[in-house]
Structure 1
Amino acid sequence: MTPPHQVTEALIKGESLAEKQPASLCTYNKMWAEAQEALNGLLQREIEDKLLKVQKDRITVFQMLATFYIKYVQIFCNLETAYDQIVHPQKRLVIRQVLEGVMGRILELKNEMVELENSEFHYFDDILQDLKLSPEHIEIPIPRYFIKEKLKVLREREKILAQILINAGLQDIKPKKYVKPLPLEEVIRVIQISERARQGRLRATFMKQIYLEEKRERQAKLQGAKGPNLDAAALCIQKVWRGFTQWKKTEKMREEEMIFLGMNPPPHFQRISASVARAQNVETKRCEVQGRHETEYENALVSIKTHLREIEGPDIKESLQEQIRQWFIECR
């Protein structure tokens, strides 16, 4: 964590703090700087538009508000990501203030658009096309610090609600086992397997009846034959084994064909990759570092204040007393 005096000195000298930070933090520092620069430009543009002549065309006004709204949403997403990932507590305080201001401005723009169109649903297709954005870019995520800061309260609330449901008899005391939902492709595959198995059982029953009838006819013709036929037994085993191996090959070929056509996901599709696992591990450690730095920062505020009171307090007190004495002497 960068000490406060180093931050102040760097800002006075005009140095970039990103040069003194590790490479993992430079990305989010750069994201913060870009978001701040975009925010300054957007605020300047809003001021210039207010100084111009008031627009009376409803479509023009809506396009202007929608453009501001989309850009503020993008800035909000960048600031929220930077706030969630940066571990420096003093930077987080600054970003938090800007982030809350941006959220307030988004609500104001949304309210103005609702009052303008008398509707809570708006269409930004033309504006998104002009800005070369997709609808995903205007989705407003829930800030992650909302959940992190109120995690304890949310858990307590869940416990209270669960206890109320248990007392009312609407929920079992025994916790239910979590059933992982299947993806759509897997559901379709299970249904196909079940239907093919049903058809296979019906066909097998029908073929078994035919086989038994043929067997009875052969036994009636070969009443004089004695002893097992080894060649027929070997031939039967070969038929069964070759049929099984060919069935496995056909199933494998069918699976490869479905993967090639994009009907089934490739193998190990649901497995979490090493990169994702590493990113999750880094995010967890980053949250731990954030908490540790926040605690150190709060403790440092108290210790520095106490240190100044103990070291500088007597000198300040003596200086003030000397000024008061001098004032009495001069005004006497």
Structure 2
Amino acid sequence: MIKFDCCEYTYFEDLALDQNKTLDNLRIEIPSCFAEDRFKSIEQRNHIIRTILSRLDESKHVLSMKSSFDSFLTSKNDQIRIIPLAAVIHILQAHERARQGRVHAYFMRQMKNELKTKEMKSISDNNLEDSCVIIQTIWRQQYAEKLFNRKKIEKAELLNMV
């Protein structure tokens, strides 16, 4: 049907018009294998939800018993409060966002420090290269002057001027 209609949703208006019925009068049977599979998955989901709710009720009961028992032992200021689930989720999300923010800030700080160290290394390398070039030029200049003076003395000796 999808190949004929060229879409994912199949419209049954044409079928209803051919049968001279309205869409409310038509009942499309779902094959039993699909219904059983869907029923099993729904039952599993309902079972999981029931177990979670029963655990939640037990924990509420235990907390209420504990708080009533602790009320005998502690003052009213130290009693355990039962917080609604929505508030707990809100608090957990806020703390998780804060934790992720701290992690993000740590990594950003680390990246910034790495960039600074790379810059300092490149600057020191550039300074090292510049200083090497300066030293080499001065040394070459001194060596050239020394050679020039030697040749000058040799020429003077050759001409018997010394």
Give the TM-score range, shorter chain.
Answer: 0.3 to 0.5
TM-score, with length taken from structure 2: 0.35
Between 1 and 2, higher relative CO (CA 8 Å, sep ≥ 6) is seen in: 1
TM-score, with length taken from structure 1: 0.20
Structure number with bigger Rg:
2
